[in-house]
Amino acid sequence: MKPSFAPWRLEFILGEREKGCVFCTRHKRKKDRDDLILARGKYSFVIMNKYPYNNGHLMVIPYKHVASLTKLNGNEAKEIFGFLAKAEKVMTKALKPHGFNGGLNLGRAAGAGIDDHIHFHLIPRWVGDTNFWPVVSETKSMPQHLMTTYDILKKHWR
């Protein structure tokens, strides 16, 4: 994955970390809009990244707190893959990206910000976005972008 320059990520990198697992906390507290949770399944959920590499950056995450692919069973893997495909479809329709980066970072050395709860990224890309985003987006305006994008994607998810 080759992330674009995203200055608001500094807040994540330099900010204070929450106690416990952020992903477990998010799916348990049932504040889906506040937490940017787009969809829930039986085994996993879809959440937008609060510190995105790009507009629309989302993640598919199992409810189960595991750090390795080998800990996911067939049903869980199937649902996660289904959500990734649906996210691709929804974002293609709603945001009209020119492509996607996707995948996972297993372990801190591989770039995982949260390395003990596996999560799959899907990041829409537009030709020239690495130049475009720093110009139009400032750190403080990102929450606004996030809620707007959340509402657009939520509407298309149905």
Please give the residue ranges that form the binding site for Zn ion (CB under 5 A): 21, 23-24, 65, 117
Taking the complex as a whole, the smallest distance from the CB of residue 13 to Zn ion amounts, in Å, to: 20
Question: How far is it, in rounded angstroms, from Cα 61 to Cα 84?
Answer: 10
| CB neighbours of residue 124 within 10 Å | 26
Rounded Cα gap, residues 106 and 102, in angstroms: 13
Cα gap 79→118, rounded to integer Å: 14
Spell 4-15 as b/e; 16+ CB within 10 A means b: bebebbeeeeee
| CB-nearer residue toward Zn ion: 50 or 156 | 50
Residue 117 appears among annotated catalytic residues: no
Here the tokens at position 16 are 């204070």
- To Zn ion, the closest distance from the beta carbon of 71 in angstroms equals 12
CB of 79 to Zn ion, least distance (A): 17
Minimum CB distance to Zn ion smaller for 64 or for 145: 64
Which residue's Cβ lies closest to Zn ion? 21
Catalytic residue among 27, 57, 119, 121: 119
Which residue, 56 or 62, has its beta carbon nearer to Zn ion?
Answer: 62
- Which sequence positions are flagged as catalytic? 119
